[in-house]
């Protein structure tokens, strides 16, 4: 079995699709890397349809409402995202750099924030997240998935390249192929009559959580921590949906198994800690371990401590933990808890929350 995973997440919208995903892990939320879809770039980019309507937006960031008509004459790069998605976060440095480099040559980068989790529907959360990420280009808030549907999109992240006449000429799903994508931008700008378009490519400046995954050592894939879509759950008694229970972790976990210990409720979209000192344990194989989570009650600060193989992470701590493993959960977002500096092997991760009220959504790796 391949150990490289696609830099891509697939949106599953029906119970049938959820069940199918549980049956076939490759479709759960990111297929194998080889399954990425992108058109072939050549001198004559194909016609893939017209830019659909943007009228389904429920709000806008960094701009007033935009329409197809007001974008005519511009080359438009449409980027479907959701702000806690690790795959999009790792693509973001390139999209942000393209927006800055080509804005005076006729390029409009248009983000489409289509939420996966309920907290991503909150416009204040969206604006705060994008401000923290230094996103200055316009973003449509797509809480009803209307723009997602008219594009017939299925993935985070997704890029659609639109020429100055409003025609979609190229697309790319998932991470990677940044050189090819930038060359498409350059070609469409030249077609639009822009002279002196730079043929140089942006220099990678990814840091922190935006750094590309260590694909050669990645043997753990995204895993939801809820009662419907989780995999590898090993606490005694198994998953008990919507029931406050005292969970016990087994003495040993196999690779990509995880467990709860303490008083938790596994819901349909998240798992919530009901009593202080609850733990989550995960055996993983990756350079990075991240957890999408937040305080259930806005404004609450929840202290936690992380261990790796039973010890403080020291140099393996993430940007949201210190060397002793301590950190604080506040806003709902993706937290980087582990970034290993040395050889990557199977490791046992543990996080203990010192107070109740944390809501957890998914583990991701890099």
How far apart CA 353 and CA 344 sit, in angstroms, is 26
Closest CA to 151 of 176, 168, 139: 168
Closest CA to 305 of 259, 243, 349: 349
Fold observed for domain 9-210: Glutaredoxin (3.40.30)
Q: What is the pLDDT of residues 265-278, one digit of tens each?
A: 999 999 999 999 99
Per-residue model confidence (pLDDT) at position 251: 96
Extract the runs of DSSP E, i.e. beta strands, from the chain: 9-10, 59-61, 75-81, 107-113, 139-141, 155-156, 158-162, 168-173, 223-224, 244-247, 258-266, 271-273, 278-284, 288-295, 302-308, 326-329, 333-339, 347-353, 358-365
And the tokens for 248?
A: 């016990």
DSSP for 104-157 reads GGTEEEEEEE--SSGGGG-HHHHHHHHHHTT--S-EEE-TT-HHHHHTT--EES
DSSP 8-state secondary structure symbol assigned to residue 32: B
DSSP for 289-322 reads EEEEEEESSTT--EEEEEEETTB--GGGB-TTS-
Read off the pLDDT band of 37 (50, 70, 90): very low
What's the mean per-residue pLDDT of the chain? 90
Would you list the domain boundaries of the chain?
Answer: 9-210, 215-365
Second CATH level (architecture) for the domain 215-365: Sandwich (2.60)
DSSP SS3 for 222? coil
Q: What residues are paired with 282 via a beta bridge?
A: 258, 349
| Confidence (pTM) | 0.90
Q: What is the pLDDT of residues 222-262, one digit of tens each?
A: 999 999 999 999 999 999 999 999 999 999 999 999 999 99
How far apart CA 338 and CA 256 sit, in angstroms, is 16
Read off the pLDDT band of 3 (50, 70, 90): very low
Q: At what angle do helices 178-191 and 86-102 cross, to 10 degrees?
A: 30
Q: Which range has the worst mean pLDDT, 41-50, 215-224, 240-249, 340-349? A: 41-50
CB 318 within 8 A of CB 337: yes
Q: Is 275 left (phi over 0), alpha (psi -120 to 50) or beta?
A: beta
Q: What is the pLDDT of residues 106-147, one digit of tens each?
A: 999 999 999 999 999 999 999 999 999 999 999 999 999 999
Percent of the chain scored above 70 by pLDDT?
Answer: 89
Read off the pLDDT band of 10 (50, 70, 90): low
């Amino acid at each position: 079995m391949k150990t490289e995973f696609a830099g891509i997440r697939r949106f599953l919208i029906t119970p049938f699709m959820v069940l199918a995903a549980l049956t076939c892990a490759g479709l759960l939320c990111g297929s194998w890397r080889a399954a990425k879809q992108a058109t072939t770039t050549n001198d004559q980019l194909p016609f893939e349809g017209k830019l659909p309507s943007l009228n389904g937006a429920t709000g806008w960031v960094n701009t007033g409402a935009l329409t197809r008509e007001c974008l005519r004459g511009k080359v438009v790069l449409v980027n479907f995202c959701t702000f806690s998605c690790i795959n999009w976060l790792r693509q973001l440095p390139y999209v942000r750099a393209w927006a800055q480099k080509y804005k005076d040559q006729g390029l409009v980068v248009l983000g489409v924030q289509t939420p996966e989790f309920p907290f991503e529907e909150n416009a204040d959360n969206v604006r705060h997240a994008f401000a923290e990420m230094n996103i200055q280009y316009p973003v449509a808030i797509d809480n009803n998935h209307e723009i997602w549907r008219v594009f017939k999109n299925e993935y985070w992240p997704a890029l659609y390249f639109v020429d100055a006449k409003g025609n979609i000429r190229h697309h790319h799903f998932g991470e990677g192929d940044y050189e090819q994508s930038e060359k498409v931008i350059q070609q469409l700008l030249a077609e639009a009559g822009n002279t002196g378009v730079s043929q140089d490519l942006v220099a990678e400046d990814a840091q922190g959580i935006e750094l590309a995954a260590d694909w050669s050592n990645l043997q753990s894939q995204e895993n939801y921590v809820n009662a419907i879509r989780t995999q590898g759950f090993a606490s005694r008694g198994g998953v008990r949906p919507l029931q406050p229970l005292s969970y016990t972790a087994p003495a040993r976990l196999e690779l990509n198994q995880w467990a709860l210990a303490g008083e938790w409720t596994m819901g349909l979209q998240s798992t919530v800690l009901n009593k202080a000192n609850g733990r989550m344990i995960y055996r993983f194989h990756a350079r990075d371990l991240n957890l999408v989570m937040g305080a259930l009650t806005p404004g609450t600060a929840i202290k936690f401590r992380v261990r790796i193989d039973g010890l403080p992470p020291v140099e393996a701590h993430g940007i949201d933990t210190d060397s002793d493993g301590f950190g604080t959960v506040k806003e709902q977002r993706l937290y980087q808890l582990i970034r290993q500096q040395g050889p990557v092997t199977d490791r046992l991760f543990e996080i203990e929350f010192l107070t109740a009220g944390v809501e957890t959504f998914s583990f991701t790796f890099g």
